A and B are shown apart, each in its own frame.
Chain A
Amino acid sequence: MEFFGISLPGLLSQLLLGLVNGSFYAILSLGLAVIFGLLNVINFAHGALFMMGAVITWMAMNYFGINYWVMLVVAPLIVGVFGVVIERLLLRWIYKLDHLYGLLLTLGLTLLVEGVFRSVYGVSGLGYDTPDLLSGGTNLGFMFLPNYRAWVVVASITVCMLTWFVIEKTKLGAYLRAGTENPRLVEAFGVNVPVMITLTYAFGAALAAFAGVLSAPVYQVSPLMGQNLIIVVFAVVVIGGMGSIMGSILTGLGLGVVEGFTKVFYPEASSTVVFVIMVVVLLIRPAGLFGKEN
Chain B
Amino acid sequence: MKYKHTTLALMLAAAGLATGAAHAQEKVTIGFITDMSSLYSDVEGKGGATAIQMAIDDFGGKALGQPIELLTADHQNKADIAASKAREWIDTQGATMIFGGTNSGTALATAKVAQEKKRVYINNGAASSALTNEQCSPYTMHYAYDTVALAKGTGGAVVDTGGKTWFFLTSDYAFGHALEKDTSTVVEAKGGKIVGAVRHPLNASDFSSFLLQAQNSKAQILGLANAGGDTINAIKAAKEFGIDKTMKVAGLLVFLSDIHSLGLKNVGGLLHTTSWYWDKDDASRKFANAYFAKMKRMPTDVQAADYSATMTYLKAVAAVKSTDADKVMEYMKKTPINDFYAKNGVLRPDGRMVHDMYLVEAKQPADSKKPWDYLKIVKTMPGESVFTTKAESKCALWK
Residues in A lying within 8 Å of B, measured CB to CB: 7, 10, 13-14, 17-18, 20-21, 118, 122-127, 130, 137, 143-144, 146, 148-149, 218-220, 222, 224-225, 228-229, 260, 263-264, 267-268, 270-272
Minimum Cβ distance to chain A for residue B124 (Å): 18
- Report yes or no: A123 in contact with B262, Cβ–Cβ below 8 A: no
Given the known inter-chain contacts A124-B42, A219-B205, A220-B232, please indicate yes or no for A137 contacting B241, CB distance below 8 A: yes
Given A124-B260, A264-B213, A268-B172 in contact, is the A224-B39 Cβ separation under 8 Å? yes
Q: Which residue of the partner chain, among B41, B198, B236, B242, contacts A122 with CB atoms under 8 Å?
A: B41
Interchain CB contact under 8 A, B229 and A220: yes
Partner of A267, one of B199, B232, B240, B262: B199
The minimal Cβ–Cβ distance linking A76 to chain B, given in whole angstroms, is 21
Q: List 27 A-B contacts (CB under 8 A).
A: A7-B216, A14-B209, A17-B208, A21-B206, A123-B37, A123-B41, A123-B45, A124-B42, A124-B258, A124-B261, A125-B229, A125-B261, A127-B261, A127-B263, A219-B205, A219-B206, A219-B233, A220-B261, A220-B262, A224-B38, A263-B210, A263-B213, A264-B209, A267-B210, A268-B172, A270-B200, A270-B204
Instruction: Point out the residues of chain B lying under 8 angstroms from A270, CB to CB.
Output: 200-201, 204, 209
- Expressed in whole angstroms, the minimum distance between the Cβ of B164 and any Cβ of chain A is 24
With A123-B37, A127-B266 known to touch, is A271 a contact of B213 (CB < 8 Å)?
Answer: no
Given the complex of chains A and B, what is the CA–CA distance between A252 and B165 in angstroms? 38
If the complex has contacts A123-B41, A127-B263, A137-B242, are A268 and B201 also in contact, measured as CB distance less than 8 A?
yes
**Which residues of chain B come closer than 8 Å to A20, judged between CB atoms?**
208
B228 within 8 A of A: yes
Q: A144 CA to B236 CA in the complex, in Å?
A: 15
Contacting pair A228 B266 (CB below 8 A): no
The answer to the question of B257 belonging to the interface, with a C-beta cut-off of 8 Å to chain A, is yes
Verify B236–A127 contact, CB threshold 8 A.
yes
Distance of A93 Cα from B92 Cα, bound (Å): 42
In the complex, which residues 200-257 of chain B have their Cβ closer than 8 Å to any Cβ of chain A?
200-201, 203-206, 208-210, 212-213, 216, 228-229, 232-233, 236, 240-242, 257
Which chain A residue lies CB-closest to B208? A17
Residues of A within 8 A of B236 (CB): 127, 219-220
A residues within 8 A CB of B41? 118, 122-123
B interface residues, tally (CB under 8 Å): 37
Residues of A within 8 A of B208 (CB): 17, 20, 149
Indicate whether A17 sits within 8 Å of B209 (C-beta atoms), given known contacts A118-B37, A146-B241, A224-B38. yes
| Interface pair B241/A124, CB less than 8 Å apart | no
Say yes or no: A123-B39 contact (C-beta < 8 A), given A14-B212, A268-B201: yes
Q: CA–CA, A268 to B203, complex, Å?
A: 12
- The chain A residue with its CB closest to the CB of B201 is A271
| Shortest distance between the CB of B133 and any CB in chain A (Å) | 24
- Taken together as a complex, chains A and B put the C-alpha atoms of A18 and B233 apart, in Å, by 17
Q: Which residues of B contact A (CB under 8 A)?
A: 37-39, 41-42, 45, 172, 198-201, 203-206, 208-210, 212-213, 216, 228-229, 232-233, 236, 240-242, 257-258, 260-263, 266, 297
Choice from B172, B199, B216, B229 contacting A222 with Cβ under 8 Å = B229
Check A127–B262 contact: CB distance below 8 A: yes
Quote the shortest CB–CB distance from B37 to chain A (angstroms): 7
For A122, what are the chain B residues with a Cβ–Cβ distance below 8 Å? 41-42, 257, 297
Residues of chain A within 8 A (CB-CB) of B213 are 10, 263-264
Given contacts A10-B216, A123-B37, A270-B209, list 20 more A-B pairs with CB under 8 A.
A14-B209, A17-B206, A17-B212, A21-B206, A118-B41, A122-B297, A123-B38, A125-B232, A137-B242, A144-B241, A218-B240, A220-B261, A224-B39, A224-B229, A228-B205, A263-B200, A263-B210, A268-B199, A270-B204, A271-B201
Q: How far is the CA of A194 from the CA of B367 in the complex (A)?
A: 59
Which residues does chain A contribute within 8 Å of B209, judged by CB atoms? 14, 17-18, 260, 263-264, 267, 270
**Min distance, Cβ A226 to any Cβ of chain B, angstroms:** 10
Task: Determine the distance from Cα of A149 to Cα of B172 in the docked complex, in whole angstroms.
Answer: 26
**A137 partner residues in chain B, CB cutoff 8 A:** 240-242
Q: Report Cα–Cα, A145/B46, bound state, in Å.
A: 39
Separation in Å of the A68 CB from the closest CB of chain B? 15
Beyond A124-B229, A268-B172, whether A229 also contacts B199 by CB under 8 A is no
Q: A148 contacts B240, CB within 8 Å? A: yes
Residues of B within 8 A of A127 (CB): 236, 261-263, 266
Q: From B236, which residue of chain A is reached at the shortest CB distance?
A: A220
**Bound-state Cα–Cα, A225 to B261, Å:** 14
Q: Which 9 A-B pairs have the closest CB atoms?
A: A124-B261, A263-B209, A271-B201, A124-B42, A228-B205, A122-B42, A17-B208, A146-B240, A267-B198
Q: How far is the CA of A117 from the CA of B232 in the complex (A)?
A: 19
Chain A residues lying within 8 Å of B257, measured Cβ to Cβ, are 122, 124
Least CB distance, A91 to chain B, in whole angstroms:
26
- Bound-state Cα–Cα, A149 to B236, Å: 14
CB-CB nearest in chain A for B255: A124
Chain A residues near B261 (CB-CB < 8 A):
124-127, 220
Q: Is the CB of B203 within 8 A of A228?
A: yes
Q: Kindly provide the distance from the CB of B141 to the nearest chain A CB, expressed in whole angstroms.
A: 27
With a CB–CB cut-off of 8 A, which chain B residues contact A149? 208, 240
Q: How many whole Å from B380's CB to the nearest CB in chain A?
A: 27
Q: Which residue of B lies closest to A225 (CB)?
A: B205
